[in-house]
């Protein structure tokens, strides 16, 4: 009932098993399953970027069938007839981007390439986005960050991303979807960032953000005469001009540096708290020109899809019960969209997920010692499991939580610096996840 099955091994979560979950930041995700009996099974997949789609060049791929029988449909290489053959491919050139001519959500056009009166389950639909500037002129290069999905409001279907997304690098984009449910389907498209903003973000995160987006560190001590001394200095992940305090993690070497306190009564060992510099955003914006800042007024906006023709899908939906139960793969799969939502429930395309009620969760967690490490995502997981199992809190801090109930214990621990937020955090409560696992 409460087993984690994987190939090539199977783990039965017996009484007393220790279960560790690690959720890291958006740049990389690691899952650790650490068992008390000494077996360590580590599954590691690093994710670069966070577009949950297969984004490929405009050239037609010769790859054959990708995955068979995904929820009743076969996903093959894109139907070449759906791809525009009269579009001349461009090439995104960083020097060609014009800040005075960013992609505009109001003039950009969304259209269905293969409109039909009715579609059938498993049919493909192709949606094109033509990026334009504020004056309606066509863009000459690509690199815009669009999000596009299909959805049905009732009973609540949503495909979170296309099977394929093509950037022709000349302002033209094509998204290919496989239709997987019946009813009236609508298109949702959003311009997350124009390519001009993407360029600025890349440049900022690679350079000035590490030195401008800073934190405060408080150094505090009590002198031999009983007088208290304290000073707040600037800290961050990048080294400062000497003299400075290198307070990086000794075990993991996670980088962290602070300016050396001017008060001669204080030294690097007196670092006690960390907080985010409230002026960081203003300082970071200060590294951008007025024209660059104006580009970000066109971000996270919806494109007009109200004029698109209705998408009516007919047919018999596949029977979910015919799918096998989802298992933990021995090798992490390629990061790609692999399912859709139905009534707030995730439905994979190639297997069937078990759905648990609160009582099931409480029963399954009995006899377990659960340790969750990571960021706010891990904290949300802890809060959900704690409430579902009615585990009684014995410690409830944003960065350190724990609870106990009958034969169940659960705890959450936050990662080390940097940490966003307005709270002033004692240094001793923030340690790198790898250090905490070593201690465990």
345 plus 251 within the same structural domain: no
Report the C-alpha gap between 198 and 94 in whole angstroms: 11
Task: Tell me the average pLDDT across 374-389.
Answer: 92
225 plus 361 within the same structural domain: no
Report the C-alpha gap between 119 and 372 in whole angstroms: 45
Q: Structure tokens of 327?
A: 């298992």
* Phi, psi (rounded to 5 degrees) for 51: -90, 115
Task: Tell me the average pLDDT across 267-293.
Answer: 90
Give the domain CATH number at 141.
Answer: 2.60.40.10
- How sure is the predictor about 421, in pLDDT bands with cuts at 50, 70 and 90? confident
Report the C-alpha gap between 162 and 178 in whole angstroms: 8
**283-309 per-position pLDDT tens digit:** 888 888 999 998 888 789 999 999 898
**52-63 per-position pLDDT tens digit:** 333 443 333 333
Q: Is 320 part of any domain?
A: no
Tokens 């009564």, located at residue: 265
- How sure is the predictor about 88, in pLDDT bands with cuts at 50, 70 and 90? low
Q: Which of 12, 33, 20 is nearest to 332 (CA)?
A: 33
Please state the domain count of the chain. 3
First to last CA, the chain: 27
Question: What pLDDT is recorded for position 49?
Answer: 29
What residues does 331 pair with on adjacent strands?
A: none
pTM of this prediction? 0.72
Q: Is 324 part of any domain?
A: no
* Phi, psi (rounded to 5 degrees) for 323: -80, 150
Give the single-character DSSP code of 238. Answer: S
C-beta of residue 433 within 8 angstroms of C-beta of residue 251: no
Q: Is 40 part of any domain?
A: yes
172 plus 298 within the same structural domain: yes
Report the C-alpha gap between 50 and 382 in whole angstroms: 24
101 plus 197 within the same structural domain: yes
Task: Tell me the average pLDDT across 119-127.
Answer: 91
108 plus 189 within the same structural domain: yes
18 plus 114 within the same structural domain: no
Task: Tell me the average pLDDT across 323-348.
Answer: 76
Report the C-alpha gap between 70 and 349 in whole angstroms: 5
393 plus 360 within the same structural domain: yes
Question: What pLDDT is recorded for position 154?
Answer: 82
299 plus 165 within the same structural domain: yes
122 plus 193 within the same structural domain: yes
Domain, as residue range, for 260: 214-276
Q: Is 74 part of any domain?
A: no
Q: Structure tokens of 57?
A: 């060049």
Q: Is 68 part of any domain?
A: no
Report the C-alpha gap between 30 and 171 in whole angstroms: 35
198 plus 261 within the same structural domain: no
Q: Is 285 part of any domain?
A: no
For residue 112, the Cα-to-chain-centroid distance in whole angstroms is 29
Task: Tell me the average pLDDT across 190-197.
Answer: 93
Per-chain mean pLDDT for the chain: 78
Give the single-character DSSP code of 13. Answer: -
User: What is the percentage of the chain residues whose pLDDT exceeds 90?
Assistant: 35
């Amino acid at each position: 009932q409460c087993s984690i099955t994987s190939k090539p091994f199977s783990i039965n979560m017996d009484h007393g098993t220790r279960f560790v979950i690690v959720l890291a930041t958006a740049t990389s995700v690691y899952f650790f399953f650490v068992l008390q009996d000494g077996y360590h099974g580590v599954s590691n997949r690093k994710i670069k970027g966070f577009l949950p789609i297969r984004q490929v060049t405009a050239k037609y791929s010769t790859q054959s069938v990708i995955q068979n029988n995904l929820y009743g449909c076969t996903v093959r290489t894109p139907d070449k007839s759906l791809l525009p053959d009269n579009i001349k491919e461009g090439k995104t050139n960083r020097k060609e981007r014009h800040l005075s001519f960013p992609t505009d959500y109001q003039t950009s056009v969304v259209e269905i390439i293969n409109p039909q009166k009715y579609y059938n389950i498993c049919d493909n639909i192709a949606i094109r986005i033509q990026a334009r500037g504020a004056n309606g002129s066509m863009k000459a290069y690509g690199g815009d960050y669009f999000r596009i999905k299909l959805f049905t409001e009732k009973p609540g279907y949503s495909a979170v991303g296309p099977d394929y997304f093509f950037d022709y690098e000349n302002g033209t984009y094509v998204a290919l979807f496989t239709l997987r449910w019946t009813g009236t389907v609508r298109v949702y498209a959003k311009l997350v960032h124009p390519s001009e903003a993407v360029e600025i973000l890349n440049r900022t995160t690679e350079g000035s953000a590490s030195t401008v987006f800073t934190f405060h560190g408080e150094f505090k001590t009590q002198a031999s005469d009983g007088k208290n001394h304290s000073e707040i200095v600037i800290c961050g992940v990048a080294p400062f001009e000497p003299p400075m305090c290198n307070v990086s993690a000794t075990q993991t070497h996670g980088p962290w540096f602070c300016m050396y306190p001017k008060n001669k009564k204080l030294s690097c060992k007196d670092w006690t708290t960390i907080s985010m510099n409230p002026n960081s955003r203003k300082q970071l914006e200060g590294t951008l020109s007025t024209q660059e800042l104006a580009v970000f007024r066109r971000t996270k906006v919806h494109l007009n899809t109200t004029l698109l023709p209705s998408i009516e899908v007919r047919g018999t939906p596949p029977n979910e019960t015919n799918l096998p139960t989802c298992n933990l793969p021995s090798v992490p799969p390629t990061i790609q969209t692999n399912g859709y939502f139905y009534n707030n429930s995730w439905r994979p395309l190639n297997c069937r997920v078990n759905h648990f009620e609160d009582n099931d969760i409480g029963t399954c967690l009995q006899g377990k010692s659960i340790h969750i490490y990571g960021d706010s995502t891990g904290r949300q997981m802890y809060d959900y499991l704690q409430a579902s199992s009615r585990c009684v809190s014995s410690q409830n801090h944003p960065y350190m939580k724990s609870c106990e109930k009958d034969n169940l214990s659960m705890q959450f621990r936050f990662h080390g610096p940097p940490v966003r937020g307005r709270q002033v955090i004692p240094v001793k409560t923030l340690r790198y996840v790898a250090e905490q696992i070593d201690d465990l």
